[in-house]
Amino acid sequence: MVEIPQSIDMKEISRILEQNGFIRMSEEANRISLNKGYTKNGFADKVYHIHLRYAGDNAGLYFRDYLNEHPDVAKEYETLKLRLWKQYEHNRDAYTDAKTEFISKWTAEARKKYGDRY
C-alpha cells in the first residue's frame, strides 16, 4: 500500500506506474490498485500489487492487523483465495469482486476492535 498526500494527483502516480509495466486493475473514488505479473495465460512467476491510497485511508492496514491477530480468519482467507484463484484465474475482476464481502466483513470487525488505531 502506497499512501500519498491529498495534494498529489493519484491518477498521475498511476500513469507513471503504468509506464513502468504495471496494469491498472481497479479504480474507485480515491483508490487505485495496480499489479504486475498477471498475464493473459494466468499468473507469472512473480506477481506484485500496489494499492494507491490517500493519507488516512487505512482499511487495508486494519484488515492486515486483524488477519495477523486471528490466524483462523487468515486461514479462511487463504482457503477462499486459493479456491477463487482456480475459479477465476483468467478473470482478475471477478476474483477481486468475489473477495470483497469477506474483506469488508473482517475490516469492519477490525475497526470495531482497534478503534482509531491509524
Grid coordinates representing 1 are 500500500
| pLDDT over 90 at 6, yes or no | yes
pLDDT at 46: 83
CA–CA dist 49, 64 (Å, integer): 15
Secondary structure of residue 95 in the 3-state scheme? helix
pLDDT at 70: 98
Compute CA distances 58 → 33, 45, 65, whole Å.
14, 29, 11
The radius of gyration computed from the CA coordinates of the chain, to the nearest angstrom, equals 15
Question: Tens digits of per-residue pLDDT, 24-38?
Answer: 988 988 999 999 987
DSSP secondary structure code for residue 111 in this structure: H
pLDDT at 98: 95
- β-partners of residue 27 are 32
Question: Tens digits of per-residue pLDDT, 42-62?
Answer: 666 788 999 999 999 989 999
